[in-house]
Chain A
């Protein structure tokens, strides 16, 4: 199962989907587009465990993390 993790006021919300389920993948891709379109940054973990930014939906990514755009504090 792949997971999309979206940071929010609850801590995070997790959306799990089966990468072999075409409908679920389509919904996940739509979610990716909506979030990145709204200014969220998407990051995945590489094989070495490092974080890497991703600008396109990757259905094979085990975990994709989304966080809101950065602002100065």
Chain B
């Protein structure tokens, strides 16, 4: 008999807690969606800028294949820049196959499009200086399994 009011209070408290929990979950979901929308916008801006600076041939290749080739200004070697921000640059051999990977990127939290554009300009205008700061990696360590979005923006 004494426990009944307590039980009722407990039910009310549990219901209120549940309502607060649902409200909190909705807030978190909303914040997550807003963050994702901002992230998508930033990614799209980066890809738009990249496409503006690619040559017509590079743009066509990137849209079709998700990568584009550049020629190093110092060595004349060919490099393939894949969509991504790390481990995405491969030196291409005469047989058209990747020889070695070069990992370098601009400092700071930049989106993939910006990183690829900086890599392109660096290889096309100061190749050896760019490679001097880069780390080499075997091409099989590349992370080509990342989700891609090549849609023109």
Nearest CB on B from A38, distance (A): 10
- Chain B CB within 8 A of A37 CB: no
**Restricting to A21-38, which residues have a CB under 8 Å from any CB of B?**
none
Among residues of A, the one whose C-beta sits closest to the C-beta of B43 is A11
If over half of A's interface residues share one DSSP class (helix, strand or loop), that class is named, otherwise mixed; here it is strand
Query: Which residues of A are found within 8 Å of B43, using beta-carbon distances?
Result: 11
Q: Is B81 an interface residue (CB 8 A)?
A: no
Whether the Cβ atoms of A73 and B125 lie closer than 8 Å is: no
B125 & A70 in contact (Cβ 8 Å cutoff): no
Interchain CB contact under 8 A, B135 and A73:
yes
Knowing A51-B121, A72-B134 touch, does A8 contact B46 (C-beta < 8 A)? no
In the docked arrangement, what's the CA distance between A10 and B42, Å?
5
Q: Is B103 an interface residue (CB 8 A)?
A: yes
Q: Which of A10, A11, A53, A69 contacts B107 (CB 8 A)?
A: A69
Residues of chain A with a CB closer than 8 A to B124's CB: 50-51
The reply to whether B111 and A11 form a contact with Cβ atoms under 8 Å apart is yes
Is residue B104 within 8 Å, beta carbon to beta carbon, of the partner chain? yes
A-B contacts besides A12-B49, A65-B53, A68-B108, 4 pairs, CB < 8 Å:
A43-B121, A53-B126, A71-B133, A72-B134
Q: Give A residues with C-beta under 8 Å from B.
A: 5, 7-12, 39, 41, 43, 45, 49-53, 65, 67-73
